[in-house]
Structure 1
């Protein structure tokens, strides 16, 4: 993500809950009691940066989403088919779902008990789920989706617009339009079908599928087969100029809100998506997904750009009139490697996303004839507040300057220390070995030390968390 200088929309604070154990035998609910080892999954991922979000006891492998949205009423109906594997002997589990009503739930094809609990859908299958068992959950739901508000991080989620809707936000957003294990530690593939009134576009992640129309409605289909963190999913509905083509043999789909200039800076910037991806691939390794693209929205509430997987979404403030802004495109496309393919295991390590994406802006600027990465390093070094750490910045500062710019400084300091050949080998090894997975700062330091064959922990400590300006390498 990169901000335009406006307050970034974010999520509300949800009170952290403690998993309850099963004290009695409920044969119709399948709860066999603690003596048999079955117990409820955790109702929280245990991440203090997003309390109340994410769940335990299972691992999702796939979401099949079939939603219908009517902008005239702001009503959404949906069916989510979720494939998961139990990671413990599971008597009960939770899914994150905000604001929408649930009409019915099945587990393994059988009706399951369910209840709502402050942004959670609590599901009790008829029989306990053995550890290692794959199971399918189907949830039918409906209602008027709403944004969620966080006093610290702002508001976002599902936003009704004049011509449709936008579902977008970090660190949370998905739970406002489908039931989900809403934490990046549990990535999954997606198939998304979105039905909207004829004439509107319905844009999402991944490879476009065949469209179909009936009775004044059109269904748009999208498929993201590479595991995706839930906050990277998006839904953009409305009047858009959609350009579909191919790049390097893969679909490239861009879209710009029809209310924005047809030949303005927004259209010109996203038109460079393929060119920018190719440059970044020469530095970071092969592009990790099966499609490319970008979406520019016109809603002023979106004061940021977000690296939604394979198809970043850009707020309108980044593009003024005819002035292009390829730097923000480079930032969000760099996230396809750093943040999307290699995702966070916990939000306190968010510099792994933003530090590398900010550094990619410096690389692109130099490549595009602007300031060198070294000059940007010197300028940022001179203006950095070293009292704020990049790692464990605190929930209120997880989108602060230290995460972005101090993180980029650490990346360049690594480059100056180990030399270009080793530096780019570290980056390509990281994106290759960790592709489609999750990681922490400790994982990156360990890999960098292995590839460089030298100790680097003191360097990272100084540049990421030290309280004084580090000595220049």
Structure 2
């Protein structure tokens, strides 16, 4: 083994670790520690939180709040359990907009507190003088919280009732929950949520007890997460939703008008869970349910424990986008079970998960589909590196976490190809054994890149020669793609690439388009020549029926190509697409393409954004505001 000095200190200095140690190689049980460790090595210090968890940290959050749809606010109380070092007299929480009415200790005695100066993108520190108190109660309200998306009835499929959903990652939960909002400060939680009838409420915890009637026209729902999780994983949704069982431990929530299609698309879920367990051990969260949200949801999916949040844009009618489900499911191990301690190590969540996703897809849908989806990911890396440069510092897996200039290509795709390359060199059997023990031995704990590197060097690498071939440090800490990358199978898209060449040469279009997989169709659309005339675009669309696609991934690629060539017939469909879908992956690039077309596209972008902005989540709005301005 190569020597590696790892300066890592679990915060046993004053804070209990619940009996867990970071480098214990004995497999852990499914039981989670009630108090997860705090990592105190320099690379584990989160500079995006005001908290000082090595002094005083939150271990449990108990919410009792009411949802007010009329003024789009949350109001109630949060009771926090605190663990503090000897002599600690204060605790610092994160606050980005919620209003504090009072703070008391567990016996009702008022505690002094101070809200510090605001830091852009981070909020303000809430410093509470706790003295000897180890439980504090905060009465508060949150209005216009960036984590919460309030939808009018008109913005839902049913059109009759309002809707609410949250998106906490990365640091948005500090806009509506008083706590220490850092992925390295894992917390258990419980919540009682009061909502108007007849709305149902779901959260990223298991439902506890019966639904309670309140004041005749309201109901209270209680949830609990008894395993310590990163606070960004506390999530809520409320609306006119129904449930459909998919398997003994799986099911889906959705609006009634969407439920049948959602359940059919997700009918493989139990099989996906079984495949994941066969790879890397038991699913430890009890149930795996999902909710298909209205299209304003800004992401493809969010891996909230026991309740994955999904965009309806993944529904294609043929399960061709179910790699998304495999991805969010895989987060139950990589991300939720073992979480990056700081956002600069986000690849530990997304890259490991993307690798795991591809293995699940292979197990359930076959090697060909898995290889094709892996090839699309590799092309994403190549395109990004060509755009930003091989030496761009943001193209290392480990970053400073300050600003993401490269999208998903690095944290997700380069991270996946790192593990794919390691597997290729050491063999699948050895690699799988290593990855399973990584999940087992760091379950319900935070982790860093340095910890994973040290674990690989200790538990996977056999000798110095293998270490040189693996190039582990280069993968994690250096920009670009290392020379040993295990490239995708060149045969994965051989027929499609031949079709691309034929089209580029003489305009010949594939005759077997409808027989292709979605990955094949996406590959074709993403690789044909980008400069097209109106006549060429009309022929392309008329022949392949691109504007009639039920797959939003394919429809997006068509609209992106059409708008980039100022194809007027596609503008109404693009405007409709942008009005009904709030997924940032689609929305931001289309507005960017329009903006890049000069005044022709900018006029369309301004006009469209003025209408669509109110329906977008803050996550989606952020990048477009910077491009166009808030007023469109």
Q: TM-score range by the shorter chain?
A: 0.7 to 0.9
Moved more, 441-450 or 117-126: 117-126
User: What is the 5 A alignment of 1:65-464?
Assistant: 65-87=63-85, 89-109=87-107, 110-117=109-116, 118=118, 119-120=123-124, 122-125=126-129, 128-129=131-132, 135-147=134-146, 157-162=147-152, 163-210=162-209, 211-214=211-214, 215-243=216-244, 247=248, 252-259=250-257, 261-264=258-261, 266-320=262-316, 325-367=321-363, 368-369=365-366, 371=368, 373=370, 377=374, 380-381=377-378, 384=382, 385=385, 386-387=390-391, 388-392=395-399, 394-397=401-404, 399-454=407-462, 456=467, 459-464=471-476
User: Cα RMSD (Å) of the superposition?
Assistant: 2.6
- In 2, Cα distance between equivalents of 1:252 and 1:301: 22
Match of 2:494 in 1: none
SS at match of 1:96: strand
- In 1, Cα distance between equivalents of 2:223 and 2:245: 13
TM-score (norm 2): 0.60
Return closer, same or farther for 1:282/1:468 CA change in 2, 3 Å cut-off.
Answer: closer
Moved more, 312-321 or 220-229: 312-321
Measured after TM superposition, the shift of residue 365 of structure 1 is 2.4
TM-score (norm 1): 0.79
- In 1, Cα distance between equivalents of 2:340 and 2:197: 38
Question: Contact between 2:292 and 2:312, CA under 8 Å: does it hold in 1?
Answer: yes
Return closer, same or farther for 1:362/1:208 CA change in 2, 3 Å cut-off.
Answer: same
SS at match of 1:431: helix
- In 2, Cα distance between equivalents of 1:353 and 1:316: 23
Higher strand share: 1
- In 1, Cα distance between equivalents of 2:164 and 2:101: 23
- In 2, Cα distance between equivalents of 1:193 and 1:166: 16
Measured after TM superposition, the shift of residue 351 of structure 1 is 0.9
Return closer, same or farther for 1:124/1:462 CA change in 2, 3 Å cut-off.
Answer: closer
**Structure 1, residues 190-234: CA drift from partner, whole Å, max 9, x if none?**
111111011101110121112111311111111111111011110
- In 1, Cα distance between equivalents of 2:341 and 2:401: 16
- In 1, Cα distance between equivalents of 2:273 and 2:419: 20
- In 2, Cα distance between equivalents of 1:76 and 1:219: 14
Return closer, same or farther for 1:223/1:324 CA change in 2, 3 Å cut-off.
Answer: farther
Return closer, same or farther for 1:443/1:216 CA change in 2, 3 Å cut-off.
Answer: same
> Gaps (5+ residues) in structure 2?
1-43, 153-161, 487-632
- In 1, Cα distance between equivalents of 2:176 and 2:354: 30
SS at match of 2:259: coil
> Gaps (5+ residues) in structure 1?
1-44, 148-156
- In 1, Cα distance between equivalents of 2:320 and 2:218: 35
- In 2, Cα distance between equivalents of 1:364 and 1:177: 35
Higher helix share: 2
Q: How many residue pairs were aligned?
A: 408
